């Protein structure tokens, strides 16, 4: 079964750090890009970060640039999101989602169930 | 940065009616990389359409996408009760990628 599972969420104080993990199974992970998308309580979707199948293509939303870092370990079929200097506005459910980019990019076709990050004192 | 706007904010229709959802971009979407997602309460989003008009695997043919440049449309041919959800468009052609604010579809 094709699956993505996020972990690492929790309660953290403002200014603190968390590392989210996205573990993949059921497909050839190394050939897929991965996005992180978040959703604050009662709000819409916000794209956060992208890492390409090659690990050198990386993008961030302006709201997290300089504070978050995305990385991947193909040997472990995993993508990580290191989140530093966390703010109350970072409180959200964080989803990872795969995206295939061959000749064309096919958008995010498989999503995890999400992990909740709460930033509060 | 490309900004997406969606209209209407909420759409309330009867079963069997046709739903037309609009997504407008502040600049032309590169390579037509415009996707539509459906999200039901408490669930992760589900990809419906990619590349503006290609249906994702397993998506019923009552869902169709069209458009190019800055104007895109998602059409639900005949609304069914299970289509109640929020629908988001996303441009993934130019970083930073982003989503529209969503259109809520309800059943009368």
Which residue in A95, A108, A109, A111 has the most chain B C-beta atoms within 10 A of its own C-beta, making it the best mutation to test that interface?
A: A108
- Residues in chain A within 8 Å Cβ distance of B32: none
Size of interface A-B (CB pairs under 8 A): 73
Contact present, A98 and A5 (Cβ < 8 Å):
no
What pLDDT is stored for residue A101 in this prediction?
A: 86
pLDDT single digits (tens) A47-103? 999 999 987 999 999 999 999 999 999 999 999 999 999 999 999 999 999 999 888
What pLDDT is stored for residue B77 in this prediction? 94
Average pLDDT over residues B70-84: 97
Q: What are the chain A neighbours of B102 within 8 Å (beta carbons)?
A: 44-45
Does residue B56 belong to the interface with chain A, where contact is any CB pair within 8 Å?
yes
Mean pLDDT of B66-85: 97
Confidence grade of residue B42 (pLDDT, cut at 50, 70, 90): very high
Q: Does the distance separating the beta carbons of B44 and A95 come in below 8 Å?
A: yes
Give the closest-approach CA distance of A71 to chain B in angstroms. 17
pLDDT band at A104 (very low <50, low <70, confident <90, very high): confident
- Maximum Cα interatomic distance, chain B, rounded to a whole number of Å: 38
| C-alpha of B94 from chain center | 18
Determine the distance from the C-alpha atom of residue A116 to the mean position of all C-alpha atoms in its chain, rounded to a whole number. 12
Side-chain-facing half-sphere of B49: CA atoms under 13 Å: 28
pLDDT tens-digit series, residues A3-33: 999 999 999 999 999 999 999 999 999 999 9
A46, A105, A113 member nearest B44 (Cβ): A113
Tokens of A73: 């370990």
Q: Of A35, A44, A112, which has the smallest distance from its Cβ to B102's Cβ?
A: A44
């Amino acid at each position: 079964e094709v699956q993505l599972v996020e972990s690492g969420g929790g309660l953290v104080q403002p200014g603190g750090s968390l590392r989210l993990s996205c573990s993949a199974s059921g497909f050839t992970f190394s050939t897929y890009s991965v996005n992180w998308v978040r959703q604050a309580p009662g709000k819409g979707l916000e794209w956060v970060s992208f890492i390409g199948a090659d690990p050198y293509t990386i993008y961030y939303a302006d709201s997290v640039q300089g504070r978050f870092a995305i990385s991947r370990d193909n040997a472990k079929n995993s993508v990580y999101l290191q989140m530093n200097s966390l703010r109350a506005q970072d409180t959200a459910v964080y989803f990872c989602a795969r995206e295939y980019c061959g000749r064309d990019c096919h958008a995010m076709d498989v999503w995890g169930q999400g992990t909740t990050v709460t930033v509060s004192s | 940065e490309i900004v997406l706007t969606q209209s209407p904010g909420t759409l309330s229709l009867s079963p069997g009616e046709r739903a037309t959802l609009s997504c407008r971009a502040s600049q032309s979407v590169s390579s037509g990389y415009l996707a539509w997602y459906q999200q039901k309460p408490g669930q992760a989003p589900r990809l419906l359409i990619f590349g503006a008009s290609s249906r994702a695997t397993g998506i019923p043919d009552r869902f169709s996408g069209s458009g190019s440049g800055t104007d895109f449309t998602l059409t639900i041919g005949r609304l069914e009760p299970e289509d109640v959800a929020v629908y988001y468009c996303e441009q993934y052609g130019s970083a930073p990628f982003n989503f529209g604010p969503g259109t809520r579809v309800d059943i009368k």
